[in-house]
Amino acid sequence: MIKRLRYKVKKADRDIIYGLKATFKLLGVEFRDFIKCRPYIYILGNLGILSCSEYGAKYFNASVVYSGEWIGIVVDNKVYLSTIVYERVYKYLGEYRAAIKVSEQGVKTFLYGNDLFASSITEYYEPIYNPVAVIDSFDNRVIGVAEPMVDQNELINALKKGLEKPVYRNIYDLGFFIRYFE
């Protein structure tokens, strides 16, 4: 049975557009090179899903996310890019920016909604003290987004030493949408 969710749709406001532009700038690319529309936001409580389409599915569900029609999410008024957009940017650039690669155990932990320990991070790509794309070190796919939980000096120290300490908070992962829409 399809779960019916109550949501509102509206054009993304200036703050959301600014958040998107700032994130693209952090990655070293232009917003308009990747987003060719005026985004709409589907609001479900404190979660917003950004899409180019004003017309969602009759029953809004995970299909918008898994069909590749989403630009990003807004959680507590902060904008985060979608995994799909990150992958497009990395393909265009030919390199990673604002990203961390995680071990197999880190991937398993992260996909269940948990935070990341410094010991599970195998590589990192500057800038890292901001939201980062989380990349599976096995297949190099973006599996979600995380944000630092500690200050910049503590983060660098923990990464260099590979400490068993949580350093990145899970903002969303691919499993998040399955959990959210169930």
pLDDT computed for residue 10 by the predictor: 87
- Choosing from 74, 89, 104, the residue where a domain stops is 89
Domain shared by 102 and 77, yes or no:
no
Q: 160 and 85 in one domain?
A: no
Give tens-digit pLDDT for 83-104: 999 999 999 999 999 999 999 9
* Residue (of 77, 9, 64, 58) closest to 38 by Cα position: 9
Task: Give me the number of domains the chain comprises.
Answer: 2
- Residue 1 covered by a domain: no
Write out the residue range of the structural domain in which residue 154 sits.
96-180
Q: What is the pLDDT of residue 1?
A: 40
Q: For 34-56, write each residue's pLDDT tens digit.
A: 998 888 888 877 788 898 876 55
Please report whether residue 119 resides in a domain. yes
Q: In this structure, are residues 131 and 62 in contact, taking their beta carbons and an 8 Å threshold? A: no
Which residue among 27, 57, 89 closes a domain? 89
In a domain, 150, yes or no: yes
Q: What rounded mean pLDDT belongs to the chain?
A: 87
Together in a domain, 84 and 100? no
Residue 152 lies in a domain: yes
What confidence score (pLDDT) does residue 42 get? 84
